[in-house]
């Protein structure tokens, strides 16, 4: 899949609208706790500034649900961006109000205007054409660099692309890198290729799992989703997380893996707890011996050893979803140990955004990974084989 390339646009001295994904996590005091997404946007912004452009930036932050809410203002993002770019970033007072439209119209070259949170506008998530048109009217060029939100058909992501022809829109460097990387991973991985899949639910990752099976050599299941498989195999899983309506699907996945010759690993022991809390009483038990009323909240040490053994000869690893409730120290060991092992390996290691990216950052092994995606949901949809709505209009059509 070849995308319209920003380097082919005749940007010199023009006005460009860049949709970024500055939806960064914040702590309870409103401080940005991880600015990876902002840092990742710098290359495209700098490229446009080097082309003597006036740059208009748009992003959402959180879920303000179509209403102006100070809590979701992009002011902290503007400050961080200013530090990273080492130049002034003007934060607009609104999104498409008259004052902001005028600010955009008057924006001189080499200047940056950051619109307020695009989801202050109710039309953004509704992919409202009138909003797309207003946003498009601000600039001569449109660049999408918001991989993390490209699986959403929203006004500033999808609708807006219809107001620009192929000579006036393109993918930014980040979006292009993400799409290329996942394309290569799925279509030409160096083998053996393993997927480590965890997280809370099978439902969220079902399609990705189904799509991955024909491509991978091994699958390692962890997290809450493991229990739906274990229950289907006849284990007593106590009060562990389970999706009873997906037991049949779990069986189908295991059958399909067998048919395809994919080695399918499930936890052989777990850290079980008497409640879902940091101060729970916990013990290590085999998958066969989870006590009644107790829940498995992490993979156990025997599983860690087994997974390390299975991952030993792997050349490519795709990891999506933690092995346990890593947010609680007591149940973070399984994820941490697997993370260190993956990070230390010589394989190509790809982390599929979201919680897994957060996890590897918390334990400081992010630099050891080959690639960390900036989009959890978007990367999952790519793995499901979908064409992302925000990318569809940027694909170079065959002659
Ligand atoms: P997901 O959004 O589906 O990737 O799930 C990530 C979440 O799964 C994290 O917040 C983990 O705390 C949670 N999780 C992982 N393992 C378990 C488990 N065994 N039981 C309940 N939740 C889990």
- Please state the domain extents for the chain: 6-173, 181-383
Tell whether ligand 1 has an atom less than 6 A from the beta carbon of residue 296: yes
Between the CA of 368 and the centroid of ligand 1 the distance, in Å, is 23
CATH match of 6-173 with 3.40.50.300: no
Q: What angle do CA 389, 394, 398 make, to 5 degrees?
A: 115
Contacts of residue 252, Cβ cutoff 8 Å, sequence gap at least 6: none
pLDDT at 397: 75
Q: Which atom of ligand 1 is nearest to the CA of 204?
A: 3
- Residue 17's CB is within 10 A of a number of other CB atoms, namely 26
User: What is the pLDDT averaged over residues 63-80?
Assistant: 96
Which are the catalytic amino acids?
37, 201, 354, 377
Indicate the fold that domain 181-383 takes in CATH. Rossmann fold (3.40.50)
DSSP string, 78-100: HHHHHHHHTS-EEEPSSSSSHHH
Between the CA of 326 and the centroid of ligand 1 the distance, in Å, is 8
CA distances from 142 to 9, 147, 165, 248 (A): 10, 15, 10, 45
Q: What is the mean pLDDT of the chain?
A: 95
Between 354-362 and 333-344, two packed helices, what is the crossing angle to 10 degrees? 80
Q: How confident is the model at residue 59 (pLDDT cuts 50, 70, 90)?
A: very high
**Lowest mean per-residue pLDDT among 9-23, 88-102, 106-120, 176-190:** 176-190
Between the CA of 109 and the centroid of ligand 1 the distance, in Å, is 46
Which residue minimizes the CA distance to atom 10 of ligand 1? 325
Q: What is the spatial distance between Cα 160 and Cα 220, in angstroms, rounded to a whole number?
A: 40
Q: Which atom of ligand 1 is nearest to the CA of 200?
A: 8
Residues of the chain with pLDDT > 70, as a percent, come to 99
Could you report the per-residue pLDDT of 132-186, keeping only the tens digit for each? 999 999 999 999 999 999 999 999 999 999 999 999 999 999 999 999 999 999 8
User: Would 6-173 and 181-383 be classified into the same CATH topology?
Assistant: yes
**Whether the Cβ atoms of residue 26 and residue 151 lie closer than 8 Å to each other:** no
């Amino acid at each position: 899949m070849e995308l319209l390339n920003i380097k082919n646009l005749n940007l010199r001295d023009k006005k460009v609208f860049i949709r970024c994904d500055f939806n960064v996590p914040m702590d309870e005091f409103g401080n940005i706790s991880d600015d990876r997404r902002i840092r990742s946007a710098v290359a495209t912004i700098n490229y446009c500034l080097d082309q003597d452009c006036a740059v208009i930036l748009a992003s959402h932050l959180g879920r303000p649900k179509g209403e102006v809410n100070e809590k979701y203002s992009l002011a902290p993002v503007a400050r961080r961006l200013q530090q990273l770019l080492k130049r002034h970033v003007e934060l607009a007072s609104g999104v498409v109000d008259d004052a902001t439209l005028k600010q955009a119209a008057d924006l001189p070259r080499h200047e940056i205007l950051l619109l307020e949170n695009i989801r202050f506008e109710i039309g953004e998530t509704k992919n409202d054409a009138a909003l797309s048109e207003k946003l498009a009217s601000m600039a001569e060029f449109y660049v999408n660099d918001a991989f993390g939100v490209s699986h959403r058909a929203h006004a500033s992501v999808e609708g807006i692309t219809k107001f620009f022809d192929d000579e006036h829109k393109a993918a930014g460097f980040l979006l292009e890198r993400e799409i290329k990387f996942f394309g290569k991973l799925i279509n030409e991985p160096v083998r053996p290729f393993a997927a480590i899949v965890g997280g809370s639910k099978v439902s969220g990752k079902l399609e990705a799992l189904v799509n991955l099976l024909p491509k991978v050599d091994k699958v390692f299941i962890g997290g809450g989703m493991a229990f739906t498989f274990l229950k289907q195999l006849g284990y007593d899983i106590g009060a562990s997380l389970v999706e009873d309506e997906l037991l049949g699907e779990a069986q189908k996945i295991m059958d399909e893996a067998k048919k395809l010759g994919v080695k399918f690993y499930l936890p052989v022991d777990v850290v079980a707890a008497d409640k879902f809390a940091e101060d729970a009483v916990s013990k290590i038990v085999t998958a066969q011996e989870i006590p009644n009323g107790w829940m498995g909240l992490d993979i156990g040490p025997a599983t860690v050893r087994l997974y390390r053994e299975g991952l030993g000869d792997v050349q490519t690893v795709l990891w999506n979803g933690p092995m346990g409730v890593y947010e609680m120290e007591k149940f973070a060991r399984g994820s941490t140990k697997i993370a260190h092992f993956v990070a230390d390996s010589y394989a190509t290691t790809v982390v599929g955004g979201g919680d897994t990216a957060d996890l590897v950052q918390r334990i400081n092994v992010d630099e050891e990974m080959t690639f960390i995606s900036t989009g959890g949901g978007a990367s999952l949809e790519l793995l499901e084989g979908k064409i992302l709505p925000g990318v569809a209009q940027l694909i170079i059509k065959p002659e």
